[in-house]
Structure 1
Amino acid sequence: MADFTILGLRVVREAARRGSFSTAAERLGYTQSAVSRQISLMEQAAGRALFERHARGVQPTEAGRIILRHAEAVLGELDAARQDLQDLDARPPGRLSVGAFSTALAALVPRALAALAEQEPHTQIPLREGMSPRLLTAVARGRLDLAVVTQPQQAPDGVEVIRLLDDPLLIAAPPDHALAGRASVTTAMLRNERWITASTEPGATLLGAWSEATWRPDIAFVARDWVAKLGLVAAGLGITVVPGLAVPAIPSAIAVIRIDHPAAVRTTAVAQRAGTPGEHLRRTFTEALRDAAAELSAQLRHRLR
C-alpha cells in the first residue's frame, strides 16, 4: 500500500486549487503524467478516489476534501519551519554582557550560561569577573547588561536588584580536623583556629560575618585565589570561610561545616537596568539563574547532611 508523501500532498493541493491536473503540472513545473502519477499514488494511500474527473477539469471528492484539509495543515507547518530556518540565518546574534563575583562563577553562573546557550544558541555572552561594587557601577553605566552580585544595601540609581538566594557561609576544614565531623559550629568554637583569608582585615573578608565577636581571628595566611586557599586548607595549614555557591568546586576530601550564626549568610542577587534593550535575554538568563540556584541549594543541603 502506498504512503502519503509530501510531494503527493503538494500535488493534491495544487490540483484542487486549479481544478485541473494540467494547470497544476504547469504551476509546479512537472509533466502532466507526473502529476497524474502522484494523484494515483495518493488515491492508493487513501484507498479511494480523491478527485472527480470531468471534461472541463477535476474537483475533490469528499475523501479528497479530507486529504486536502490535512495537506494544508502539514504543508503549512513545513513552510513555517522553512521560514523559521531562514529567519535564523538572517537574524543577527543577540548579545548579553554578564558580570559576576568570583564564587558565583564556580557553578551558579556557568550552569545558567549553559541553559541560556541551549535556548539562545547564537547569543554572544561577554563575561566579566569582579567585586560586587564595581559590577554594580558597570551595570549603572551601561557597561554590563546584567551582573550577579552580593545584594547591596543601596543600589545605584536606575539599577534594579532581584534577589536570587540567601547563600550560607561555611567553614572549609582539613578532613582530619577536629570540627570536620560536625554539622555546624558556633563562632565561639572557632576562637582558637588559624585562618586563611583574602585580607588581614576581617571586616574586608567573609570573616566580617560575625564582626561583633569579642575575639580577632588568628590569620595564618593571606591568599586571594580560591585554589590557593583550598590548597592551604587541604595541607592542614588552617581553615577558611567559603560561600555555599563555591561548594561544588570544593574537593569532597575537604570538610564543609555550617556556621551557626545569623549573620553567616550572604544574599546573592541579579542587578540590571530596567527598560534597556535585551529584556528577553535578561529575563531568560535570570530564570536560568533561579533554576541553577535552586539546584545548588539542594546539592548543598545534601552535602551538609
Structure 2
Amino acid sequence: MTDVNAFDTGALRLFDEVARSGSFTAAAELLGYTQSAVSRRVAALERAAGGPLFERLARGVRLTPAGAALHRHAVTVLDRLDRAGEELAAIHGGSGGTLRVGAFATANVDLVPATLKAFAHRRPRVELRLVEGLTPRLMERLRAGRLDVAVISDYPAGLPAEDGQVLPLREDRLLVALPRAHRLAGADSVDLRDLREETWIEAAPRGRPTLLVTACAAAGFTPRSGLRVAEWSGKFGFVAAGLGVTLVPELAARAVPPDLVLRPLRGLAPARKVYAALPETPLPAALEFVRLLGEWQTCTTVSPT
C-alpha cells in the first residue's frame, strides 16, 4: 500500500529538483544535501510509489512514465503551496486577501466611499466587500467573524456590548434641513427653540427616544411629530414640499438635494458619535482602513442660501 507520508513537501521538492536537473548530484548541491541523502530519499519515494521513478543512466537520471506522472502532480501541489504562502504573506502584510467592511447607511454617503477609495489606491490587491446595516447587526457579524471592520454609531440605542476593539472616530452633528423658502433658511445657524412650532419629519417609531426628542426636552419643549418617512429621499421630498423639517447627519450632507438648505443648530444641538469596531486580532488591512478613516475630514459644508 502506498505510504502517503512519504510524499511530504520536502520529498516532493527534492523529487522536482532531481527531475528538473536530471541529476542526483546537481539536486544535492542545489538543496544543500549529500548525494547519498538524495539517493536514499528518492529510493523511499520509489518504494512508496510502488516502483521506479527514475531511470539511472550513465550520466544522470530521467523520469520513468510513473515518474513523469508523479512529477505532473508534484508541480501542481508545489505551485499551489507557493501561491498559498504568497497569499498568506500578503494577508499578514496587509497587501492582499479580502477586507470585509460593514457600515451604517449614512456613513456610506461620504465617509466610507472616500476611505475605500484611498484604501484601494494604497492597497490595490486587497479585494473589498461592503455590507450595510444597523449597528447592532454589524456588531453581530463582526463577533461572528463575518466582518473584518465595522463603522458604527451610538444612535439611537447606544453602543452594543463591546467585543474586540471599539475606537472613536468623530462626532457627527445633526443639522436641520429646511426648504429654501423657510423663514430661517437665510440664518447662519438656528436655535432649536425657534423650531418649536415646526412639524418634524422622522423615521423612528413613536415612543422610541431619539436625539431630537432628548434635545428638544432640554430646550424646554416637545417636538411636534408629523409624517413618518423611513427613506432619506422621501424625507427630503416632504421637506421640500413645505410639510415639515428634518434632521440630517452631517455625514449625509452631500446627499441633500439643492432645493433644501442645511443649517447647524445652536445650543444643545443633538449629535451622535461614530466609531470603528475591530475584532480582538484585526487584520493589518483593517488597521490600515481604520487609520484612513481617522484621517478623513468632511469637505462638505452647510448649504449656502
Partner of 1:66: none
**Correspondent of 2:256 among 250, 257, 263:** 250
Aligned partner of 1:266 among 246, 266, 272: 272
> What is the CA distance between 1:112 and its match in structure 2?
0.6
Separation of aligned partners in 2, 1:186 and 1:226: 23
- What CA RMSD, in Å, does the superposition of the two structures yield over aligned residues? 2.5
Partner of 1:183: 188
- Alpha-carbon shift at residue 107 of structure 1 (Å): 0.7
State the percentage of identical aligned residues.
Answer: 34
Task: Name the SS of the counterpart of 2:287 in structure 1.
Answer: helix
TM-fit CA distance, 1:122: 2.6
Deviations 1:110-169 (A, max 9, x none): 111111111122322221111112222222222211111114855534321111111111
Pairwise CA distance, 1:200: 4.1
The yes-or-no answer on 1:289 pairing with 2:290 is: no
From 176, 190, 195, the counterpart of 2:200: 195
Q: Is the 8 A contact 2:175 2:264 kept in 1?
A: yes
Name the structure 1 match of 2:231. Answer: 225
User: What's the secondary structure of 1:274's corresponding residue?
Assistant: coil
Q: Which secondary structure does the structure 2 equivalent of 1:126 belong to?
A: strand
| SS state at 1:212 partner | helix
- Quick one: structure 1 residues 173 and 128, their matched pair in 2 at CA, closer, same or farther if it must change by over 3 Å? same
Q: Is contact 1:193-1:239 (8 Å) kept?
A: yes
TM-score normalised by L of structure 2:
0.63
Corresponding position of 1:167: 172
Contact 2:216 2:223 in 1 (8 A): no
Q: Contact conserved, 1:164 with 1:289, CA < 8 A, in 2? A: yes
- 2:181 partner amino acid: D
Unaligned runs of 5+ in 2: 1-85
CA distance in structure 1 between the partners assigned to 2:147 and 2:277 by the alignment: 10
SS of equivalent to 2:235 = helix
Q: Kindly provide the amino acid, as one letter, of the partner of residue 176 in structure 1.
A: A
Matches within 5 A, 1:96-135: 96-135=99-138
1:267 to 1:195, Cα distance in 2 relative to 1, 3 A: same
State the match for 1:148 in structure 2.
Answer: 151
Q: 1:275 aligns with which of 263, 275, 281?
A: 281
Q: Contact 1:210–1:263 (CA<8 Å) still a contact in 2?
A: yes
The Cα of 1:202 is off from its aligned counterpart by 6.3
Aligned position for 2:55? none
Query: Taking structure 1 as reference, are residues 165 and 91 closer, same or farther at Cα in structure 2, changes over 3 Å only?
Result: closer
Could you tell me whether the CA contact under 8 Å between 2:199 and 2:244 is conserved in 1?
yes
Determine the structure 1 residue equivalent to 2:300. Answer: 299
Identify if the C-alpha distance between structure 1 residues 154 and 148 changes in structure 2 by more than 3 Å, giving closer, same or farther: closer
Task: Provide the TM-score with structure 1 as the length reference.
Answer: 0.63
Deviation of residue 173 (structure 1)? 0.6
Which residue in the other structure is 1:234 paired with? 240
- What is the number of residues matched between the two proteins? 212
Rounded to whole Å, the distance in 1 between the matches of 2:251 and 2:201 is 18
For the 8 Å contact 2:97–2:127, the answer to whether it is kept is yes
